Amino acid sequence: VAADIEKEKTQYNEVLKREKAVNQLMEKVEFALPESAVAEERDAILSETMMRYMQQGVTKDVLEKNKDSLIEGATKDAEIRAKMRIFLSRVAKANKIEVNNEDISRVVWQEAVRAGMKPDEFVKKLRGNQALINRIRGDALMQKTINFIAEKAEVKIKEAK
């Protein structure tokens, strides 16, 4: 049990390190966000949210009644995600970071788990859906770039007392 707790603590600290490193860099940059990038992220967030709610048994009528609130929340999150995606894309390009099949497979597996599907089923869903394929490739590049930033960063995680 102690080994499991230590492993979980180490994994949690790695996640914190990645978040802190990226957030510190993002705070230092300002740039205009293309409306198309925000709209694309908003649509993706809304799609994810709707799928998650429907899997939980929420009816379409309930979702329709809360449409304005869902769109407002998704738009706020979309601005953050769009900024991060553009920023990480620029970092990846400047550092010649590229994704390979292993990186993409990892994201496909993660997305399948998130969607409650078997990876093979998710791959079938990908076939013919170029927008989803591009999003998977983009997510893989984001993850790889975040890992690159975290490796270069000097972030200290303070121990809880």
Residue 135 tokens, joined: 């999003």
Q: What's the pTM?
A: 0.73
Flag the least confident range among 21-25, 79-83, 145-149. Answer: 21-25
Q: Is the dihedral of CA 74, 130, 107, 148 positive or negative?
A: negative
Phi-psi region of 140 (alpha: psi -120 to 50; beta: other; left: phi over 0): alpha
Q: Which of 99, 124, 100, 98 is nearest to 111 (CA)?
A: 124
pLDDT tens-digit readout, 145-159:
999 998 887 756 566
pLDDT of residue 79: 92
Structure confidence at residue 150 (pLDDT): 85
Distance, C-alpha 156 to centroid of its chain = 23
pLDDT at 74: 93
> How many alpha carbons fall within 13 Å on the CB side of residue 70?
18
* Residue 70: count of CB within 10 angstroms of its CB: 17
* 86, pLDDT greater than 90: yes
The angle formed by the CA atoms of residues 95, 104 and 75, to the nearest 5 degrees, is: 80
* Residue 141 confidence (pLDDT): 95
